[in-house]
Amino acid sequence: MNIMQVSGYKAKIEYDPELDQFRGEILGLNGSADFYGKNPAELRKEFKNSLNVFFEVCKEKGISPTKEYSGKFNLRIPARLHREIAARASAEDKSINQFVSEILEQSVAD
């Protein structure tokens, strides 16, 4: 996945062959904001513009611009995988939560 970061915000970047441009979708917002550009410099500029417009609209409407996350989510995995994770966590004297959190942290580290 192609990710662009501006001012601490991330956007998923994809190529749109119909428009012959790249499309960015800003992630983690309390709504939807996207932008287009033909090259990285143009994308970055439009990313900033799109963010500013989104923030202005949120301010006018009195809503928080970013999603709030609780830090909790349910995950369904095969029993075999659950058993293996439990065994490895136990072998490292960790809870399943701590073990999986560390693995997820490593996988998303920039």
Q: Which residues of the chain have pLDDT under 70?
A: 1, 110
Residue 13 · residue 22 · CB < 8 Å: yes
Which pTM does this prediction carry?
0.76
- pLDDT for the residue 109: 83
Instruction: Please say whether the dihedral angle defined by the alpha carbons of residues 17, 21, 26 and 27, taken in this order, is positive or negative.
Output: positive
- Integer angstrom CA distances of residue 70 from 73, 78, 86: 8, 25, 24
- Reported in sequence order, the residue ranges of 1-110 that DSSP labels E, i.e. its strands, are 2-6, 9-16, 21-26, 34-37
Domain positions in the chain are: 2-61, 79-108
Q: pLDDT for 57-77, tens place per residue? A: 999 999 999 999 999 999 999
